[in-house]
Structure 1
Amino acid sequence: MNLEQIYNKKNPWPARESQRVLFILDVRSSLEEEVLRGWVQHHANVDNQAFDAPQVCIDLRDERTGFDSGQLVMSLALPDDTLIVPLRIVWTPSEEGAMTLGRLRHLITGDPRRPSPRRGKRILSTAPERVHLMVGKPDTMSNLKHRFEAHHAVDNASSQEAFASFVARQAAVVLDMAERQLKGGRYKMPRHVASTMMASSDYNAAVQRLADEQGKPKEELMKEAAQYMKEMISTPTSFWLDVYARFNTFCLGLGYEQDIVYDQASVEKLREIVRNNPSMLLWTHKTYLDGMVVPKVMWDNDFPMPHMFGGANMNFPGLGYLLHRAGAIFIKRSFQDNELYKITLRHYIGYLMEKRFPMNWAFEGTRSRMGKLMPPRYGLLKYVLEACEATEAQDIHIIPISISYDIIRDVEEYATEQTGRGKGAESLKWFIGYVRSLARPMGKVYMDIGEPVVLPRAPEPGDRLALSKIAFEVAVEANHVTPITFPSLVTMSLLGAAPKALTEEEVIGDLNALLGWAESRNVRISHDFDRSFADQMAGLLGIMIDENIVTRYDEGPEIVYGISLEQHPVASYYRNTVIHFFVNKAIIELALVKASESDAEKALDVFWEQVDHLRDMFKFEFFYAPTDEFHRQIREEMACYGDDWEQSLAQGAAGFGKLLQGMTPLVAHVTLLTYTEAYSVVASLLARKEAHDTWEEKDCVTEALTYGRQAYLQRRISSESSIGKQLFKNGFQMLQSRGLTEGGADSLKEDRVEVARELRELLRRIDVIRAIGVANHGSV
């Protein structure tokens, strides 16, 4: 195949009547210019064109230097019906080269998709199938002028240059679209964002209003805004997207199985959503690796790379450079008083949403140190929704995504942090050490996609109630699609039995009971959960033993498994990842104990009173359905143990015993013990203070960490998993919500003592459930 045969594959000349044609040639070298000019001339001769069309050469792909649009300015003085046709050469790698895309050695040897003139000539002569001539969708001069005038604010002195830059950007966009037909959707990326924003009439108007308010020249603010754009706007390229994809695969593959577990049908549904709607992908946050999971799944399925908000703590040399060129948006930690920064960020987000570039971030704002979902942080959601409101976006889709792991390398660090020790600062040296620490077997990674929260329009800016409701819906759905995995069930079983160890048969019995309960309630279970785990106890359980999460003793007549006391904080983390599924049942069990100890005729009222009281006590730990829906869930669960459960309650202890017979597995002691003990530590400290003493959260946590250690040594609490900063903070919030932390009248002293007494009584009821569970099944 020679050059003429390459030319004959496609004709660059558009179908037209009498219009003139202007070709914009996107070239990076003299070779590319020569080939594209030859292509135009070849078809002009073949078709006997009566005139030569003007041709302008410009590099449309280098955003760092801007456009050299001087020649284009002169060429745009053509009739309004002139057709503007962009052309480009796309070089694809060889089959062997495609396997090595994204290797850092290409920084030295050159990206095979951007060959030097010498290499390009060799490709033309030896592998012409790697050469593709692209035609961007033509447009008329009049259409381009109309679009430019509708959305751009420029003065007369710079209008010609601004229009030329606009035409160049549009040429780049349509050429990119044509190129993606060849390369795939994963290479869709925003181009020339900063210059587009700087020319936007809406953005200019917003900056002008701010300039008027602050009494500053607009030019001064625009210069400052340009610096902000340089900091925040991501500049992805095909090469760095390949590097990032390879990097993600490498890091995740160090310790986890190669294939992430997800439902393909859900991914295809996600594809349709992000293609047709402004979308946000909000994922749960357990480890630093979470930010790699969604991009990897999307890359593997040929999605456009989602733009990711990143904390400034991760923008250090090396990693920050890579992430910035792979879709990461690093924003300042605090910019509440910087109106220009907020305007710039809002318009940038609005641009990305309008162009259907999905946004993704961890909506908890930080890694969960306890395993369960953290309260959502509203900051980024607020700014994205404000940007949607400003651009009048419709049908905004917020998709909750749950990311789970069999084993997480960070958990030991979390357990240490919760005892009061500080977290080290992130740096390149720290990150290299972190990556090296991943090289150990850790099982599988799971990504589960929830039903989207759909907003016909964004709420009004400042509507905090609407924002909190949206975040709550996202959190509930994220919890709903979090799957039960083998490690979460094993730790739940063994922590329920602690300090007792269980035989293999007892462990299997517990797992079957927990799994059976979950399946009967349609709880999400991992797609590849191996229900023949009885035959494979050495597999994932073996990894947990190697990680010292589970202990195994095989020198007696039977093999037994347990969790040593010092490992309770670590094991609790894995249990907590699915604890939300069992909270309602735990509340029911504790309410039943209380009701069984009251007068028979009052038992039902006592039951519901306790259900609501416990829901309120742990409202800072768990996400509940609204009250009416919550009560319906309680009734549905109770109906599983008999349609006559209300009559059974009225029978006192006998009815209680009848109900408990069908309630296996019992879960109150393994679900709520940790939280109740932590709250008890905090309440006991507060009860010792005088009524006029005011207690601050910081002092509460400091004192509770010290007293918690003493309480554990005295065995007033059962394990170190009940000692933790986050637990004590939530306990403080519970007391604060009851008005007990601010100093007050003398009667406040008795109120504080009463809540401490109430928590001790709740611990007694948990012990009752534990005793019944141990007697019946040896564990949960």
Structure 2
Amino acid sequence: MDSNPWQSLRAGRAIVIIDAAHRIERRLLDRWLEERLAEHGCMATIERVVMRIARSPEHLDAMPLEPLLGGAADEIQVLPLRVVWRSSLHAKTIRPRPRDLLFGNPRRPGIWRARRILAQHPERAVCIAGEPASLGDLRERLMQRDGSIEGSRQQAEFIAAQAGLALDIAERRLQGSRYKVPRRVSQNLIASPRFRAALDDLSVETGRPVSQLRQESEVIMRELVARPAPFWLDVMAQLNHLIMSLGYDSEVVIDREGLERIRQLVRENPAALLWTHKTHVDGFAVNSMLFDNDFPNPHILGGVNMAFAGLGFLARRAGAIFIRRSFRDDPLYKLVLRHYIGYLMDKRFPLSWAFEGTRSRVGKLMPPRYGLLKYVMESAHATDARNLHIIPIAINYDLIGDVRDYAVEQAGASKQPESLRWFIGYLRGLRQPMGQIYVDFGEPVILPTVPSVDDERELQKVAFRVGLEVNRVTPITLPALLCMVLLGAAPRALTSDELLAELRALVAWARERDIRLAKHLALDDEGPLDLIVDKMIANGVLTRYDDGPERVYAIAGEQHGVASYYRNTIAHFFVDKALAELALMRMVFRKLAGAEAFWSEAERLRDFFKFEFFYAPREEFRVNIARELARYRPDWEARLEEPGGAGEVLDGFGPLVAHSTMLPYIEAYRVVADVLARQPHDSALDERECLLQSLAYGHQAYLQRRISSEASIGKLLFTNGYKLMANFGLTEAGAGPRGEDRLALAQEFRTLQRRVERIRAAALP
């Protein structure tokens, strides 16, 4: 310990709380106490109290302490002691074994196991002392928490809980920060003056007695409050490693500098870790990465649908908070949730959850839903939390086992509900080589004072900033770039030399713009490329033909939807450039001149796809495109004023990317526009019916080759296309030229499709 706990026992009177579960621990602590007292010359009058704090931290029996508190002076010192059982003098963690589930927690051995450990490995028993405190200090803390001191029972329970907290802090110096967990949460919440005042207000609003509300709130807390414990954190860590090792490399590629930065932020501020949701592996990967790097265990917020048998039991004991899917009509549940989250933030326990709504079935980051973010911001606002740090975490994978399911689901199939049987089947599906996992940290979104979220625009601003940061720190991976290049070339296959040349051109383009690249994208050595290609072939995404004079690669048959998923994970890096290419091609098509014509088209295209991408603000969008064009031709604006200048600018604008990034969105929107144009001019079309008709017509259009890829057929693509048409006012019934406007928009997307084909022809080797 940094300070000497024995200094306070030099004189006067002291209470030593001995946290012992059986006589072995009591004997060890008694002997250690006598040795320390003699060593430090302590002359205080010692009164010893034996309690079982570590074994029952949530339900302390504080009766042995009560007789010592009646009339006790504030100067009396309280010192807690405990035995820590370790695997060895050097091990920071204990990997639980299956037999530990039967014979008990090795960190808290029973009397027979403790006796055997002492006989064989006495060095594993380490006695510790928590930070001492005077009764006066402890009573002051109790007054701050409860607002009053009503008797010795209340004091005894509080002091025992504080002793347990001090011992937990001392124990973490030996075992690691990953084991920081809250204790007696429900009791502390119920005792809080803020919570009691909230119940009083709710009683006035609803006309229900406070006593009834309090009883029901205790029931809600039993359902809601997580009960993390070090032993179950170890068990969960083992499960995390097991799940990840089924298909992924054991070493996660981590942004180490970012990790250390957020470690400090979480220590000093209320914090929420928001991670991108791509697959059910995400939560296991985040927890595993944090646990392995001795990060304080976060409380993961999730839906109660994941609390099924087995996993729900373990996850709750590892810090998961399962929230009901719907509770709008239950103000008491809202109140308890709000104060529980506020309590965790106040005590600096980090929260964590998937960036809700962003588990994209098409690969790119989707516009989020605000449920959990709203609850957290409401809690922070209600409890006056300051400097809330919302930390974006980007989780990315070389390959994802769920992608085939996503592709089938996007084509019209129903989503399979979660259950234990489903989870076992899901784990079996992970048993294939899928490369590496990447974890990167964005800059935190800091809220010095948390605004009220009654205005949804405040939520949107925060979510938008998180989305931009996630996209910024997402690395370009080799599988994603391979899919992007081969989809752009499809249905053509590319030779090894052609493929490598395209990859190197795109990597060079990304490097010049300081875009993050996965380490295997150096491409100086073709070994990593061959290894990834082999995994993608084994995964069924790519195909390779070796029997001709040259080896060629292509997207495997009926796998365009899967390949499109990987391509879309990095599409946001190329969108500004792609829109510039399309705007230049329009000028070539129409024989237009002038920078104003270019900007008008670029911004029109930006609005076309506003439901697909997180754009920078309009002025920044212009600056980014102007900077991009200037890299190729510093005089691009002047050149566009001349006849034929747009073609010259476009010819030197390589590597061209519009065909490999924007084609599925343009083709999908064309399908929706065609469906809408076929409707009677005076009829409305709702979203559900539009989706059904678009799925049917999309498959027909692909068979007729009106669209070039099955990747352009998808529920989310069609849904966003419908949103655009609705935004233009074309989905409602009404008189006037509505039918002509619908036909004009359908023609516009056909024209865009032809432009993309021209760019593809120019780009292919």
TM over 0.5: same fold? yes
**Cα shift at 1:155:** 8.7
- Equivalents in 2 of 1:64, 1:143: separation in Å? 22
The aligned counterpart of 2:680 is: 690
Residue 540 of structure 1 pairs with residue 536 of structure 2: no
Shift of 1:165: 1.7
Indicate if the aligned counterparts of 1:499 and 1:564 stay in contact, CA closer than 8 A: no
Higher mean displacement: 451-460 or 178-187: 451-460
In structure 2, the CA distance between the partners of 1:122 and 1:105, relative to structure 1 (3 Å rule), is closer
Task: Determine if contact 1:565/1:719 at 8 Å carries over to the other structure.
Answer: no
1:44 deviates by 5.5
- Contact preservation (8 Å) 1:687, 1:752: yes
Once the two structures are TM-superposed, the CA of residue 47 in structure 1 deviates from its matched residue by 7.2
Aligned-pair CA distance for 1:639: 0.6
Letter in 1 for 2:449: R
Q: How far off is 1:169 after superposition?
A: 1.4
For each residue in 1:65-93, what CA deviation from the matched residue of structure 2 results, as whole angstroms up to 9, or x when unmatched? 61212222222211122111111111112
- Alpha-carbon distance change, 423 to 45 in structure 1, aligned in 2, over 3 angstroms: same
Query: Residue 724 of structure 1 corresponds to which residue in structure 2?
Result: 714
Separation in 2, partners of 1:279, 1:41: 43
- What secondary structure sits across from 1:539 in the alignment? helix
Is contact 2:5-2:130 (8 Å) kept?
no
Q: What residue number does 2:131 align with?
A: 137
2:616 aligned partner:
625
Report the alpha carbon displacement of residue 578 of structure 1 after superposing the two structures with TM.
0.2
In the other structure, the counterpart of 1:20 is 13
Q: Which residue of 2 aligns with 1:7?
A: none
How many angstroms apart in 1 are the aligned matches of 2:466 and 2:334?
A: 25
Structure 1 residue 465, shift from structure 2 partner: 1.5
Structure 2 equivalent of residue 4 of structure 1: none
Counterpart of 1:490 (choices 482, 491, 496) is 482
How far the C-alpha of 1:334 sits from its partner, in A, is 0.9
Report how far residue 671 of structure 1 moved: 1.0
Cα deviation digits, residues 555-594 of structure 1 (max 9, x gap): 1111111113411000001100100000011100110011
- 1:295 and 1:74 map into 2 onto residues whose CA distance is 44
TM-score when normalising by structure 2:
0.96
Mapped contact 1:596–1:603 kept (Cα < 8 A) = no
1:578 aligns with 2:570: yes
Q: In 1, are the aligned partners of 2:131 and 2:167 still within 8 Å (CA)?
A: yes
2-structure distance, mates of 1:565, 1:746: 46
Secondary structure of 1:292's counterpart equals helix
8 Å CA contact 1:346, 1:386 repeated in 2: yes
Which residue matches 1:6?
none
Counterpart of 2:372?
380
- Residue 704 (1) aligns with residue 672 (2): no
* 1:395-474 mapped onto 2 (5 Å cutoff): 395-474=387-466
Say which SS state the counterpart of residue 280 (structure 1) adopts: strand
Partner residue of 1:771?
A: 761
SS of alignment partner, residue 28 of structure 1: coil
Contact 2:180–2:297 under 8 Å retained in 1? yes
Match of 2:579 in 1: 587
Q: Partner amino acid for 1:615?
A: R
Asked whether the 8 Å contact 1:278–1:356 carries over to 2, the reply is: yes
Residue in 1 aligned with 2:625?
634
Q: Which runs of 5+ in 1 are unaligned?
A: 1-9
Give 1:643's aligned residue: 634
Structure 1 pair 26–599 and aligned structure 2 pair: CA distance change class (3 A)? same
Give runs of aligned pairs for residues 230-241 of structure 1, distance below 5 A.
230-241=222-233
Number of the residue aligned with 1:291:
283
Tell me: CA distance 1:232–1:590, structure 2 relative to 1, closer, same or farther (3 Å).
same
Aligned residue in 2 for 1:713:
703
- The answer as to 2:599 corresponding to 1:608 is yes
CA distance in structure 1 between the aligned counterparts of 2:362 and 2:44, rounded to whole angstroms:
73
Q: Is the 8 A contact 2:254 2:439 kept in 1?
A: yes
Identity across matched positions, percent: 47
In structure 2, relative to structure 1, the CA distance for the partners of 1:457 and 1:346 (3 Å cut) is: same
SS at match of 1:236: coil
The alignment yields a C-alpha RMSD, in angstroms, of 2.1
**Contact 2:412–2:715 (CA<8 Å) still a contact in 1?**
yes
Displacement of 1:366 in angstroms is 5.1
Which 10-residue stretch deviates more, 121-130 or 666-675?
Answer: 121-130
Amino acid at match of 2:598: F
Deviation at 1:383, TM superposition (A): 1.5
CA contact under 8 A between 2:57 and 2:161: conserved in structure 1? no
Instruction: State the aligned residue count.
Output: 762
Spell out, residue by residue over 1:367-400, the C-alpha distance to the aligned partner (whole angstroms, 9 max, x if none).
2111100112211112112222233222222111
Deviation sequence 1:97-151 (CA, Å, 0-9, x none): 9786222320113332222212323333443321111111111112211221222
Task: Give the direction of change, closer, same or farther, for the CA distance of 1:43–1:411 in structure 2 (3 Å limit).
Answer: closer
Of the three residues 735, 743, 760, the one matched with 2:733 is 743
Distance 1:155 1:173 in 2: 20
SS of structure 2 residue aligned to 1:529: helix
Deviation at 1:162?
Answer: 2.6
Matched, 1:762 2:747: no
Please state whether the residue corresponding to 1:538 is helix, strand or coil: helix
Could you say which residue in structure 2 is the equivalent of 1:81? 75
CA distances 1:188-221 after superposition (whole Å, capped 9, x unpaired) = 1111111111111111111111012111111111
State the Cα distance separating 1:482 from its structure 2 match.
Answer: 0.4
1:468-511 residue CA offsets vs partner (Å, 9 max, x unmatched)? 11110110010001001110111111001000111111000110
SS of equivalent to 1:675: helix
What CA distance in whole angstroms lies between the structure 1 residues aligned with 2:44 and 2:56? 33
Q: Which residue of 2 aligns with 1:3?
A: none
Please say if residues 262 and 527 of structure 1, whose CA atoms lie closer than 8 Å, have aligned partners that are also in contact: no
1:288-319, Cα deviation, whole Å (9 max, x unpaired): 00101221121111111111112222110111
2:23 is the alignment partner of 1:30: yes
